[in-house]
Amino acid sequence: MSRRFGWFGVVVQVARRPGLWRTAVRQARLLVPARWWATGRRLPMPSAEYLRFRVQTAEGGDGTAPLRPGDAVAYLAWCRSWRALEQSRSSVDGGRC
């Protein structure tokens, strides 16, 4: 899968949704490999294996389908809702699982 599958489109779609900005920054911090600058990459990007896994779980198949900007927006919305669920659950049970 090509790593140039529309990052600009993803950025544009997320920029249009201020409610996802915080989640996008949080996910970027979580997904960028440690010491990414030492790998010779120009930009801090998640690993190819992780992106393939995300595309495979979203689209099915072998994970080589191109990522669409809407897929990234849906993923961020899911991350935001999951985090909200975790926070509401921890406030109800005092933080215990």
Q: How many domains does the chain have?
A: 1
**CA distance linking residue 82 with residue 77, whole number of Å:** 9
- Asked if the model's pLDDT at residue 5 lies above 60, the reply is no
In a domain, 2, yes or no: no
pLDDT confidence of residue 46: 79
The total of other beta-carbon atoms located within 10 Å of residue 57's CB is 10
In a domain, 19, yes or no: yes
Q: Which two tokens stand for residue 28?
A: 């970027």
In a domain, 61, yes or no: yes
Helix (H) or strand (E) holding 76: helix 69-92
| Distances 29 to 56, 60, 93 between C-alpha atoms, Å | 22, 26, 28
In a domain, 28, yes or no: yes
In a domain, 37, yes or no: yes
In a domain, 74, yes or no: yes
Mean pLDDT, to the nearest integer, of 52-67?
Answer: 83
What is the reported pTM?
A: 0.68
